[in-house]
Amino acid sequence: MSAIDGLPGDWQMVVGLEVHVELATATKLFSASANRFGDEPNTHIDPVTLGLPGALPVLNRQAVELAMRIGLALDCTIQPCTFHRKNYFYPDMPKAYQISQYDQPLNVDGHLDLPDGTRIGIERAHLEEDTGKSTHLGGAGGRIHGSEASLIDFNRAGVPLVEIVSRPDIRSAEQARQYVTELRAILVAVGASDAKMEEGSMRCDANVSVHRPGTPFGTRCEIKNVNSVRSLGRAIEYEARRQIDLIEAGERVVQQTRHWDEGDGRTHTLRSKEDADDYRYFLEPDLVPLAPSAEWIQAVGDALPMLPGARRARLAGATGVAADSEAAMVVVERGQDDYVLAVGAAGGDVARALVHVKEAYADQGATPTVPAADLAALTVLETGGQLTATQAKAVLADLVANGGGDAAAIARARGFEAMDTGALEAMVDRVIAEQADAWAKFCAGEGKAMGALVGAVMKASHGKADGKAVTALLQARRG
């Protein structure tokens, strides 16, 4: 296990993630102001957003529906739930309390399967409102402490969030990265969020502890301010090593909240458990309990699209690659798996189509411009031996550039014809004569030398030669 962890000795890390995601609703969680990122500060505000006296929250039905989509996509149970007030003072928190869900969240007891099949438990996924955004001027490191002035943008205040809390089932930084990547793919797939970490519409806190397998979990620390999947991995690895170093030096890990500093690559103490706020949670009296009907839950579930894991499995089944292969991951992430399958339906070779789409369609969206039938025709030429892999690549480039076309016609226009065997043999013999050094090395068993020889034949044939056939001829000549 430590080999996966990259941790010294027999230490194992135990990680649980709390992911906050902004829902892609038209309006805020409790008011009619627009939920939009990046506009002029304080243009999407209203009495509820600002917590003006007398203003009351009214729950946004669309937010509940998107939260239910997340819950269903994570195989959670959707249950009758309530809202609580989480009380604390902060200038960008207009009411001095956040409306959140506490002991009765909307979604509970789900799971997320990583691409390699590892199952990570989901404890809960609950609804809450976002805070405003503060900018502190003149202080060190943009913190409120020591700053000369603070600017507050309330556009974000009241934006609906779902907080997805995993169980402590993650055992490596790589798994944490996979979890967040997969979660993001699911959130985007179900249309719940654009889930952009760099814009803050997806934020991640990590609870990290270390232990030796077979012993109880260690004391955990919560890591905040992780702003990318890459930083998440770095922060977790740093924190686990910090804790191991402490323990091996005979010290104890103190439960605390720590701040990840991207600049110095370390976590720093934010506050210890003793300093933690007492949030004085109590039932939000301005809202009534929420109990989605079985019909509503059913309707939301029925409308869910196929999720990334299932799409990868489907693609893997059709093409023969592994579900967690790079090709399956990349093509599903781009939403091009339907297209690959359509190539198969059009009589093409899906395995070749998968490779071509992965390699050549990076700039294409979920609906590539090349008609599936055109790519199908190309793969048929390829598997039929009329085109070499290299030639096929060139024809594909033309198809992509032109948004489709007749693969056979393009191949003819480019002068791609299957080479005559005799001509190829002559070409190989010529190259062996010209590249005596490489040939000697090849005969002595140096693998690299083969590449040089094949390359020279390809060059001489202007790319028309079939690499496999050349390799076979070279090996035959060597005897």
Per-position DSSP letters for 162-204, written without gaps between them: EEEEE-S-B-SHHHHHHHHHHHHHHHHHTTS----GGGTSEEE
| Pick 276 or 299: Cβ nearer other proteins | 276
Beta-carbon contacts of residue 476 (< 8 Å; ≥ 6 apart)? none
**Residue 149 near other proteins by CB under 8 A:** no
| Pick 59 or 247: Cβ nearer other proteins | 59
Query: What minimum distance in Å lies between the beta carbon of 137 and other proteins?
Result: 13
Tell which one of 104, 150, 228, 390 touches other proteins (CB under 8 A): 150
**Residue 282 near other proteins by CB under 8 A:** yes
**Residue 41 near other proteins by CB under 8 A:** no
Please name the residue that has the structure tokens 């993650």: 170
| Pick 96 or 401: Cβ nearer other proteins | 96
**Residue 285 near other proteins by CB under 8 A:** yes
**Residue 47 near other proteins by CB under 8 A:** yes
Site for other proteins in 89-148 (CB under 8 A): 89, 91, 94-97, 144
Tell which one of 278, 295, 363, 420 touches other proteins (CB under 8 A): 278
Binding span for other proteins by CB under 8 A among 6-14, 54-62, 237-245, 328-336: 54-62
Size of the site for other proteins (CB under 8 A): 30
Query: What minimum distance in Å lies between the beta carbon of 264 and other proteins?
Result: 27
**Residue 54 near other proteins by CB under 8 A:** yes
- Give me the helix-helix angle, 447-460 and 436-443, nearest 10°: 140
User: For residues 70 and 108, is the Cβ–Cβ distance under 8 A?
Assistant: no
**Residue 87 near other proteins by CB under 8 A:** yes
Please name the residue that has the structure tokens 């135990």: 14
Give the span between the Cα atoms of 375 and 463, in whole angstroms.
20
Tell which one of 116, 251, 286, 434 touches other proteins (CB under 8 A): 286
**Residue 82 near other proteins by CB under 8 A:** no
Picking from 428, 418, 426, 422, the residue whose alpha carbon sits closest to that of residue 389 is 418
Query: What minimum distance in Å lies between the beta carbon of 98 and other proteins?
Result: 11
Report which residue type is found at 342: A
| Pick 7 or 159: Cβ nearer other proteins | 159
Q: Read off the DSSP letter of residue 142.
A: G
Tell which one of 137, 288, 299, 423 touches other proteins (CB under 8 A): 288
Q: What tokens appear for 262 in the block? A: 């991207």
Q: What tokens appear for 49 in the block? A: 């957003």
Q: Read off the DSSP letter of residue 389.
A: H
Chain centre distance of CA 427:
48
* Strands 256-261 vs 266-272: parallel, antiparallel or unpaired: antiparallel
User: For residues 240 and 210, is the Cβ–Cβ distance under 8 A?
Assistant: yes
Site for other proteins in 299-338 (CB under 8 A): none
Query: What minimum distance in Å lies between the beta carbon of 279 and other proteins?
Result: 8
Query: What minimum distance in Å lies between the beta carbon of 286 and other proteins?
Result: 5
CA atoms within 13 A on the CB side of 107: 29
How far is residue 400 from each of residues 131, 154, 184, 287, 328, measured CA to CA in Å? 45, 45, 29, 54, 20
Query: What minimum distance in Å lies between the beta carbon of 30 and other proteins?
Result: 9
**Residue 53 near other proteins by CB under 8 A:** yes
Query: What minimum distance in Å lies between the beta carbon of 84 and other proteins?
Result: 10
Partnered with residue 339 across adjacent β-strands are none
CB-based burial of residue 40 (10 Å sphere; 0-12 exposed, 13-18 middle, 19+ buried)? exposed
What is the strand order of the sheet 160-166 is part of?
A: 77-78, 107-113, 119-129, 160-166, 12-22, 202-211, 221-226, 256-261, 266-272
User: For residues 410 and 398, is the Cβ–Cβ distance under 8 A?
Assistant: yes
Q: Read off the DSSP letter of residue 102.
A: -
| Pick 33 or 175: Cβ nearer other proteins | 33
Binding span for other proteins by CB under 8 A among 44-52, 73-81, 344-352, 399-407: 44-52
| Pick 92 or 349: Cβ nearer other proteins | 92
| Pick 98 or 319: Cβ nearer other proteins | 98
| Pick 90 or 296: Cβ nearer other proteins | 90
Sign of CA dihedral 179, 180, 186, 192: positive
Query: What minimum distance in Å lies between the beta carbon of 117 and other proteins?
Result: 41
**Residue 151 near other proteins by CB under 8 A:** no
| Kind plus residue range of the DSSP H or E element containing 433 | helix 421-434
**Residue 460 near other proteins by CB under 8 A:** no
Helical spans, DSSP H, in 219-349: 229-248, 294-302, 308-319, 326-333, 337-345
**Residue 248 near other proteins by CB under 8 A:** no
Tell which one of 270, 287, 322, 346 touches other proteins (CB under 8 A): 287
Report which residue type is found at 147: S
Q: Which residues bind other proteins (CB under 8 A)?
A: 47, 50-59, 85, 87, 89, 91, 94-97, 144, 150, 152, 278, 280-282, 285-288
